Amino acid sequence: MPALLFDVRWPDGEVSRLYSPSTVIGSYLAAGARYPLADFVVRARAAMQAASERVRAVHGFPCSRAAATLDHIETQAGRYPPDAHVAVERILHG
């Protein structure tokens, strides 16, 4: 299963390089796109859950790294006001 890395620029300019165990992330987030914070979190949550389920289907257990990515996203998102925006700068094949 091909993993991907994706770079997210948070409202304060900080950039996080995040991990997805599956290419399914591309169905939820687009490189170069800006999302309202709440929308980004909803999309990222759905993407990480879908990616983790793909891992479960192949290996019999969910992906702990996908869960860690989602935890990071939710923690970071909690630092910003609800009207903030997040940019997905790039999606890289791992």
Domain that holds residue 53: 4-93
Share of the chain above pLDDT 90, in %: 89
Helix (H) or strand (E) holding 17: strand 15-20
Is 90 exceeded by the pLDDT of residue 1? no
Helix (H, G, I), strand (E, B) or coil at 15: strand
Provide the pLDDT confidence category of residue 94 given band limits of 50, 70 and 90.
Answer: low
Do 22 and 79 touch, CB atoms closer than 8 A?
A: no
**What total number of domains does the chain contain?**
1
